[in-house]
Structure 1
Amino acid sequence: MAGNSKQQQLSLRVYNTLQSLGCPLVDGLYLREAESIQELLCSPSLHRTDILKWICASICPSIREKFSTIRTTQNEDLIQELTRFGHEMMLCKANDQDLIKGLAPPLRQLVFLEQLLIIIQSDSSVPSRQNLSSGDESVKNEDLLGELMSQDHSADLDLLLNPTCNPWSAHIREHLIHTQSAHSKTNGNHSKPNDFINRSDQHSRLGSHGEEDLTEAIALLQSTQSTLEELRKECEFLQSHSSGSTAVLSACALKVAISDMSQLMTAFNHVYNTDFKGYCQRASPSLCSSTSVFQFVHQLLRTCNMELEALKQLSETSTSLTQTVRQLQTERRYWSKGEKRTLPNQLEELKNKYAVFLSPHQS
């Protein structure tokens, strides 16, 4: 019981840390029970793998390029890459793939995830840390200067001092983006993190290809404006009508519907991967070898039905003939001596006539 309580507390702590760091994969999941959270974090599923990918990419952003080259169908390559990353962080063994897949004991998985999240929280360059004081800002600036003055970035420093630097190198751009993002969040400025980089790049571009870049930028802005206009026309049903009545589908209602659909898809994906996937992949059942018996019985029943149908038609025909003969015997249809007579009477009269006619010759 104590072990389960510790696992539940640890799962809640990991889940709350993911939410505080702004992980988009837990955004919209309104999980409150520790059992559900532990099942999400410790059961094999694509959602758990995506969460682990996000954590590793937050620690080392350059690993996103490796993830993008791995196709979704090549799950083993992704597991190997995540295992290698965990081994480099000295948090697991080189062949500890069960821990990455979610097959290890839950307590060990939760400790592994918590250690990765501690690395994210301790890294001051991660954009998810929103509360930065002025002292932290100065420390970040000193770290940036130290990184620029290091021998590894001597070439980058020459490019930085050169006004024709176009473009910034990838790792320097990423570091500047993180620095500008943290600065804008501290000062309450809502400008985009890339503005600082864009201004520097714009100054360098205008020195060599100013007119071409300006033409491309104007064309891009025009195409973006036309696309936004088309989207606005398609979303007119979200706005209020001219009569004052609210729209049938409001933005709030759509957000609730999207959130519900996301939760349903996540729940179905989890249930399918844990419970129903094995049943869906089973082989089809083999047919019984005695199916010829059922086929023979079916043919016999069909023949019996045909005979019964023939007997029914024969009975109906016999009844119809009986009625016709009765009508011939009882109805008066034949004229004789000015009156209608029945067929038996007419035949009897003809019989008597032939008897009288033949009696002289017979004697």
Structure 2
Amino acid sequence: MAEAAAAFAPGFGGDYCEDEGDSRVFKAALEVFRKLKDLKCPLLEGLYITEPNTIHELLCTPSKYRLEILEWMCTRVCPSMQDKFSSLNGAPVEAKIQEMVKLGHELMLCAPDDQDLVKGCASPRKQLQFMGQMLDAVQSLAVGCSSYPSVKEDFEDDAEKNEGLLEEFLSSVQLEMLLNPESDPWPVDMQPVLKNQGDDWQGADPVAQSETEKVAELARQLQEGAAKLWALRAELVLAFIQVYDNELGECCQHPDPNLHPCGPIVQAVYQTLTSCSQLLKAVEEVTGTSAEAMDAVKRQEKEPICWDGSSSVMSLATKLEELTRKYQVFNDSLNEGKG
């Protein structure tokens, strides 16, 4: 591990550190490294690095050590990959890379020909996203495998405690005294009726007697149901992988669609039509407003109005005629000045 830390010291492999100054990439690298630590990746034992730049180099620079980390991820997601990798020992490294790409494609995390992503030649953001999603899958599987035993143990502990309490209660002296008191606690007028019932009334409660058996039976049924559910889940996963490998895999490996060169033209036409539609709506609003204004003018043509705070009162039509004359005089004076 010390050699691995030295190999990925700051400054090593600078050609692949495309986003060295991007803090978001460093943050993503730290998150992936934390997940590896939480999952106790054996390849990180004895490796003590904390610098974001060094961790970025470790995870995003092509190296044999980085491929071993990816190989470990693949075996944790799909344990059957361990046998496949073992059979490829001594083969060219490209064979393992192809198997990793195939698994990533089956998990819908990469394209079927994305070897650069596994090799470490893709962009750091894409590499870290791929690793993060792979580790999330590992964590989900780990939580799923550990949750069932935990629930089972908790239920067994509760069942054992309840069984002990019931056994202690049923065998206690106080219960015996309650069922067979030395003095009859019932009123005198009710004693003959109770005595006629004989030993039937004095018998133990059948519900209390069968409580232990019910708890044990429920525990057994819960254990069987949980075991069947876990087995069914494993069978569903295997069935999906087999169906995908045999039937769906080829159907999902379609080439990328071809984009027609007329796309930008269609977009430009769409934008033009949208602008024209907006313009027509504006014209419609202006037309409506003008019609309303004309109606208002017609209604006020004959109504006298006080203009400019002066004492003169005249109608709108008279005021417009006055303004028209003033404008004509002003325009004539301008023309004379030019002449």
TM-score normalised per structure 1: 0.37
**Taking structure 2 as the reference length, what is the TM-score of the superposition?**
0.40
